[in-house]
Amino acid sequence: IVRVRVPEALQPLTNRVIRGFVEDRPIYVIPRDDGTVTIGATSREDSPHPRTSAIHDLLRDAIRIVPSLEETEFLEATCGARPGTPDDLPYLGLVREGLIISTGYFRHGILLAALGAKSAVELATGQEASTSVAACNPFRHAASTINV
């Protein structure tokens, strides 16, 4: 992810999220209320630090979609872990009284956040589940019983 500051003379650069593809590479540009823009998305799982080439690619592709991004100020480039599971289903369930696990959403976390939160509330309050999370059992990959 790259963050840039939009000069006041160009604000707002855009008032909506822009998603696109440049030569089959996904790109998004997200305007923020503080006058900055967030640019993404590359995806690699082998490094905790952004590669220089990935930063270059993101900026180049974003500028092709929104040319005025050339006039912005570079703020930062970051990357983060996207925890996943071997079967691409999250771990979601009651582990013991008072402890609910909800992790392993990988790149779908933003899409599944509302469902995960609703399921966790239902588990925590003893409500009937509106959606079955049985396939997301947090112990399904455990080699043996885990005492948490």
Length of the chain: 148
Q: Where along the chain do its domains lie? A: 2-77, 82-148
- Percent of the chain at pLDDT above 90? 63
What integer is the mean pLDDT of 37-55?
Answer: 80
For 3-38, the pLDDT digits (tens) are 999 999 999 999 999 999 999 889 999 999 999 999
Mean pLDDT, the chain, rounded, equals: 89
What integer is the mean pLDDT of 47-73?
Answer: 92
Check residue 48 and give its pLDDT. Answer: 76
Q: Looking at the predicted structure, is the pLDDT value of residue 91 above 90?
A: yes
- Type of residue found at 47: S
Q: Looking at the predicted structure, is the pLDDT value of residue 141 above 60?
A: yes
What integer is the mean pLDDT of 79-101?
Answer: 88
Check residue 144 and give its pLDDT. Answer: 54
Find the distance separating the first CA and the last CA of the chain, reported in whole Å: 35
Q: What pTM does this model have?
A: 0.63
- Whose CA is closest to 112, among 80, 73, 83? 83
